[in-house]
A and B are shown apart, each in its own frame.
Chain A
Amino acid sequence: MKKNLYRLLSAVFLMALPAAALADTSVDSATIFRFSQDSRPGFQKKDFTPATQFLGADFEKLGDGNLSLHLYGWGRYDLADKSYNNDRADGALTYAYAQYRTDQANGLIRFGRFFINEGIVNEHVDGLNVRSDLPLGFGISAFGGATVHTVHMPGEITDGKGDGLVGGRLHYRYKGMLELGVSGVYESDAPALNQASNQQLAASGRFGSHRLLGGDVWLNPHRMVEIMGHSSYNAETEGVAEHSYLLNVKPLKDLVLTGEFNEYRDRDLFFSSIFFAGLLDNLNDRSRTMGGRASYELNRMVEISGDFKHFTREIGKADRFGGDIRFALLDKALRTGVGYHYLRASRNFAVAPSASGSFHEARAYAMHDTKSYFAAVDAIGYFFKENINNKSSAWEVTGSLGCRLTPALALSGDVSYGKNPQFVDDMKGLIRLTYNMNYTGKGGTK
């Protein structure tokens, strides 16, 4: 399985080489070495030094200029103790697809591995996607293929997804005032499960196949007002899974006022995830969030925002409120910000055996970025109303320093130190080498 993945990865990247000579090419690569130690009392001391390589490449303007190729994936190798799972090496091909765009109608054909975000549909597919605008304000997008499987759930030889899926979205737009969409996804039957507890989930109607249908709306009735949202329906449980709506009002150019409303039936929403269906024992079914936000952009240099959200669940209630101020100075070269939030949560959201789930969150950061070097400091602290594991807070300070070796190549190092309820103290380091290059096939770089 893994071997095949690496073969596929290298084959794909090899195929891409000749394309690179002809196309507008951009490559983005990040090589990350992390250093940390697990020295909790009572556990064997372990050193972790995983090296991870992220590599992405985009070859544009191939063929008649409308063809492009897009690749992205990562691989990790543990230089010391095993860091993440039982594999010393691991990786994934996140996406790899060829795409053809038409000159008219925003037409598009994609083939390969890609993500789909259409209305209520969010999927990772090995297959085909076709989209186009049609006359009279209509438009369509359809996809089909094999699901991209991820790691197996504990005790199972499946991730819980069916093997194939089809779906799409149909939309209608009216004069820049209104857009309506219907979307749906139909996945083949969910696999049978091994674990008794998981079989119980399926038998009690809490886990099953992934089949959703939904509608979405965007409304712009007045220059200052925008409404958007969607509702989804689970065709297997025959219940509404989600309502999610947002109202934006912009009374001044740089002032945005937002109100949002979400309602979820967790059984219908979590139905095709073994992991989340199993959480319902602890969480119950119905939840609702309501919130508001105001943000103001002052002369491009200062941004002020305040936000509030109320969470209602069957097991309890919570409110989160606070604000952030951000500064972008010296033509964005110096960026800083501070933020404070408080989550006031009822007892049932607490981490057992603590009596309260409430906590304060405070953050401050600054970064400076020039042509030759960049530096950043970031401090975040969570202060619990009641101790968690006998700790009253979890905080972390991170410092980062880097230099640009060439305009495309940068080397940076981060060190972070913190204390939290999980570890006695936590010191981590990281070295990062990034390469971001754009090359225009017609000659010259940009």
Chain B
Amino acid sequence: MVQIALLAAMVPLAACSWMFSPETSLPGRHPFDLGEGRALCGECHEGRIKGVGKPFASFSHSPEFVRNHRLRAARDEQVCVLCHHGSFCNDCHAGKTEIKPSVKLGNRPDRELIHRGDYVSLHMIDGKSDPTSCYRCHGRANNEKCAACHRGGGRR
């Protein structure tokens, strides 16, 4: 019920095109490619990103940013797409894929890729200590391989 009420409120809101904010949009792409390695926005930017309101520094790719990028991507994806095509995200996130990111990108040990080494052994421990993190990628998608061992539902 609550969702329906929320959606009913959204539709007319979206339809009112005269209600658009007058602010200029972000550019489609960053003016140049930053290349490989840590993207540290503070090297070139100060202050806040106009239209988004958040400081450039808040997007600096520190280890914390990389680990918790989900909390940013869920709010400011227009910023991510300045530099990342969807395919970049899909190396790790996919509805269906077969190659582990660390194998596909075996030439990039500096990337913070998941499941390095023999993950089949390790996942049995990681999966028990924090299954919610696995759920984000394997919950409703990308779980074809799991079925080989986890037969009916998640039981073995």
Contact yes or no, B25 A101, CB < 8 A: yes
Q: B residues touching A (Cβ–Cβ < 8 Å)?
A: 2-4, 6-7, 9-11, 13-14, 19-26, 28-29, 33, 35-38, 40, 42-43, 48, 51, 53-55, 57-58, 62-64, 67-68, 70-75, 77-78, 85-87, 89-90, 93-99, 103-104, 106-110, 116-118, 120-122, 124-125, 128-132, 134-136, 138-147, 150-155
Known contacts A220-B55, A300-B40, A343-B129; 4 additional CB pairs below 8 A are: A132-B21, A182-B6, A269-B132, A276-B134
Contact yes or no, B19 A273, CB < 8 A: no
Contact yes or no, A124 B107, CB < 8 A: no
Complex: how many Å from CA A272 to CA B141?
Answer: 11
Q: Within the complex, what minimum Cβ distance (angstroms) separates A370 from chain B?
A: 12
Q: Known contacts A293-B64, A374-B107: does B153 contact A278 (CB below 8 Å)?
A: yes
Complex: how many Å from CA A59 to CA B94?
Answer: 21
In the complex, whether A208 has a CB less than 8 A from a CB of chain B is: no
Contact yes or no, A107 B98, CB < 8 A: no
Complex: how many Å from CA A90 to CA B97?
Answer: 10
Contact yes or no, B152 A216, CB < 8 A: no
Contact yes or no, B36 A85, CB < 8 A: no
Segment 360-392 of A: residues with Cβ below 8 Å from B: 363, 365-367, 369, 374, 376-378, 380-382, 388
Most buried by B among A135, A154, A256, A275: A275
Contact yes or no, B141 A154, CB < 8 A: no
Q: Known contacts A278-B152, A418-B118: does B135 contact A246 (CB below 8 Å)?
A: no
How many interface contacts (CB-CB < 8 Å) are there between A and B? 381
Q: Known contacts A182-B6, A293-B64, A394-B117: does B152 contact A351 (CB below 8 Å)?
A: no
Q: Known contacts A216-B75, A430-B106: does B131 contact A140 (CB below 8 Å)?
A: no
Segment 117-162 of A: residues with Cβ below 8 Å from B: 117-122, 124, 130, 132-135, 139-140, 142, 148, 150-151, 153-155, 159-161
Contact yes or no, B153 A68, CB < 8 A: no
Residues of B within 8 Å of A188, CB to CB, are: none
Residues of A within 8 Å of B33, CB to CB, are: 438
Complex: how many Å from CA A46 to CA B151?
Answer: 23
Complex: how many Å from CA A283 to CA B154?
Answer: 11
Residues of A within 8 Å of B40, CB to CB, are: 297, 300
Contact yes or no, B118 A420, CB < 8 A: yes
Residues of A within 8 Å of B96, CB to CB, are: 92, 94, 150-151
15 A–B contacts, CB within 8 A, in A order:
A50-B98, A58-B85, A61-B28, A66-B28, A134-B19, A167-B3, A186-B4, A186-B7, A207-B153, A248-B64, A283-B131, A297-B38, A303-B63, A359-B125, A376-B106
Residue from B3, B24, B75, B135 in contact with A179 in the complex, judged by beta carbons closer than 8 Å: B75
Residue from A130, A151, A182, A348 in contact with B14 in the complex, judged by beta carbons closer than 8 Å: A130
Contact yes or no, B98 A84, CB < 8 A: yes
Residues of B within 8 Å of A264, CB to CB, are: 132
Q: Within the complex, what minimum Cβ distance (angstroms) separates A400 from chain B?
A: 4
Residue from B4, B29, B64, B120 in contact with A256 in the complex, judged by beta carbons closer than 8 Å: B64
Chain B residue nearest to A255 in the complex (CB): B62
Residues of A within 8 Å of B130, CB to CB, are: 287, 289, 311
As a 0/1 sequence over residues 413 to 440 of chain A, the CB contacts with chain B under 8 angstroms (1 = contact) are: 0101010111000101010100000100
Residues of A within 8 Å of B122, CB to CB, are: 359, 382, 394
Q: Known contacts A282-B128, A365-B110, A414-B106: does B28 contact A60 (CB below 8 Å)?
A: yes
Interface segment, one of A8-16, A37-45, A324-332: A324-332
Chain A residue nearest to B9 in the complex (CB): A170
In the complex, whether A198 has a CB less than 8 A from a CB of chain B is: yes
Contact yes or no, B36 A287, CB < 8 A: no
Segment 334-372 of A: residues with Cβ below 8 Å from B: 335, 337, 343, 345, 348-351, 357, 359, 363, 365-367, 369
Residues of A within 8 Å of B20, CB to CB, are: 102, 104-105, 107, 132-135
Contact yes or no, B51 A56, CB < 8 A: no
Residue from A160, A343, A422 in contact with B118 in the complex, judged by beta carbons closer than 8 Å: A422
Residues of B within 8 Å of A269, CB to CB, are: 132, 135
Contact yes or no, B6 A376, CB < 8 A: no
Complex: how many Å from CA A211 to CA B130?
Answer: 23
Residues of A within 8 Å of B9, CB to CB, are: 170
As a 0/1 sequence over residues 96 to 107 of chain A, the CB contacts with chain B under 8 angstroms (1 = contact) are: 000001111111
In the complex, whether A197 has a CB less than 8 A from a CB of chain B is: yes
In the complex, whether A19 has a CB less than 8 A from a CB of chain B is: no
Residues of B within 8 Å of A272, CB to CB, are: 139-140
Q: Which 3 A-B pairs have the closest CB atoms?
A: A278-B153, A279-B154, A278-B154
In the complex, whether A281 has a CB less than 8 A from a CB of chain B is: yes
Residue from A154, A160, A377 in contact with B151 in the complex, judged by beta carbons closer than 8 Å: A154
In the complex, whether A79 has a CB less than 8 A from a CB of chain B is: no
Complex: how many Å from CA A103 to CA B26?
Answer: 8
